Amino acid sequence: MLINKVEICGVNTSTLPVLKEKEMRELLFKIKEGETECRERFIKSNLRLVLSVIQRFNNRGENVDDLFQVGCIGLIKAIDNFDLSQNVKFSTYAVPMIIGEIRRYLRDNNSIRVSRSLRDIAYKALQVRDRLIKKNNEEPTISEISKELEIPREDIVFALDAIQDPVSLFEPIYHDGGDAIFVMDQISDNKNSDESWIENISIKEAMKKLNVREKLILNLRFFNGKTQMEVADEIGISQAQVSRLEKSALKHMRKHV
């Protein structure tokens, strides 16, 4: 019985070789020299890496075999473009390449179709962005990209937004062996901030200082969104009385907030 056996595209991943970093670098040097057998061995030893990457796309409803094949294309591109002079692990370089290839595939096969002209603008904008970063050593503004391409700024923004791949709030972005950090952990909640939470507590405490009629008027006015005339009709007093009681209640509450 095979343990942790996973078959994708006819490949039994439990039989794949696992190489140490030193062995991988030695193979990469031979690959750069054109040794075909070393290239095939290196690809096979990194198929587990492809498998680990495609698992984050399991919730997209795509065929796993298709994603695996696309991921392998990204792996091969990473092998062809990897710079051995840089002190970087191959996996560190390869993972973004594999992810990028899969995202391009998902984007091009998305049920929400993006027009070819819009995609062309977006890709040109990304190319100009990369060129300007290399030239100026800083991130260019949309206006600078727009000027370079001679395309309206709004069209650039629209095109770039159109090709963005939706990201799940529960997608992990970092894992150090303990609890994972998800996208949602990095998004601030302005509505439920500490300040608004304390303010809500203060308002509730101040409301307790009011009498029953004042509480009712403020609830109807500010929580149910009714006009003073509607409140007057509901509780059977004049609109002028509602106005006076409302002002008095708010003034009283300010002393406790």
- Inter-residue contact 121 to 155 (CB < 8 Å): yes
Q: Answer whether residue 2 shows pLDDT above 80.
A: no
For tokens 């009709």, name the residue.
Answer: 233
The predicted model gives 232-254 an average pLDDT of 88
Q: What is the CATH number of the domain that holds 224?
A: 1.10.10.10
Average pLDDT over residues 105-131: 77
Query: Which stretch of 16-20, 120-124, 236-240 has the lowest confidence by average pLDDT?
Result: 16-20
Q: Can you tell me the distance from the alpha carbon of 132 to that of 256, in angstroms, rounded to the nearest whole number?
A: 56
Listed in sequence order, the DSSP H helices in the chain are 21-32, 36-45, 47-54, 64-81, 90-108, 116-136, 142-149, 153-162, 194-207, 212-218, 228-235, 239-254
Residues 102 and 121 in one domain: no
134 within domain boundaries:
yes
pLDDT at residue 34, rounded to an integer: 82
- Where is the domain boundary, 79, 108, 137? 108
* 23 and 95 inside one domain: yes
Residue 132 included in any domain: yes
Task: Tell me what pLDDT residue 73 has.
Answer: 92
Residues 6+ apart with CB under 8 A from 46: 75, 90, 91, 94
Indicate if the pLDDT at residue 152 is higher than 50.
yes
Q: What does the pLDDT read at residue 181?
A: 62
Structural domain boundaries enclosing 230 = 194-254
- Of residues 171 and 35, more confidently modeled: 35
**Average pLDDT estimate for 158-185:** 62
39 and 91 in one domain? yes
Could you tell me the CATH number of the domain that includes residue 99? 1.20.120.1810
Q: Does residue 38 sit within a domain?
A: yes
Q: Terminal CA-to-CA distance of the chain, rounded, Å?
A: 69
Domain stop point among 108, 135, 154 = 108
Distance CA 166, CA 50 (A): 21
Question: Do 135 and 71 share a structural domain?
Answer: no
Q: Is residue 60 part of a domain?
A: yes
Q: What is the mean pLDDT of the chain?
A: 78
CA angle, 105 then 110 then 116, to 5°: 80
Percent of the chain with pLDDT over 90: 5
Q: Kindly state the average pLDDT of the residues 83-106.
A: 84
Please write the tens of the pLDDT for every residue from 15-65. 666 778 788 888 888 888 888 888 888 888 888 888 888 887 776 667 888
Q: Which pLDDT does position 100 carry in this prediction?
A: 85
Is residue 206 located within the same domain as residue 229? yes
Secondary structure (DSSP) of 64-106: HHHHHHHHHHHHHHHHHH--TTS---HHHHHHHHHHHHHHHHH
Same domain? For 18 and 104 the reply is yes
pTM for the predicted model, two decimal places = 0.42
Contact 51, 69 (CB under 8 A): no
How far is it, in rounded angstroms, from Cα 205 to Cα 196? 14
Q: What local confidence, expressed as pLDDT, does residue 1 receive?
A: 32
215: in domain: yes
Instruction: Mark whether 55 and 130 lie in a shared domain.
Output: no
Is 50 exceeded by the pLDDT of residue 219? yes
pLDDT the model gives residue 19: 74
Evaluate whether residue 187 is within a structural domain: no
- 199 in any annotated domain: yes
CB neighbour list of residue 6: distance below 8 Å, 6 or more residues apart: 12, 13, 14, 51
Q: Is the pLDDT of residue 175 over 70?
A: no
Domain assignment of residue 156, yes or no = yes
Across 8-20, average pLDDT = 66
Give, to the nearest 10 degrees, the angle between helix 64-81 and helix 36-45.
Answer: 130
Read off the pLDDT of each residue in 99-106 and give the average, rounded to a whole number.
84
Above 50 in pLDDT, residue 94? yes
Domain total of the chain: 3
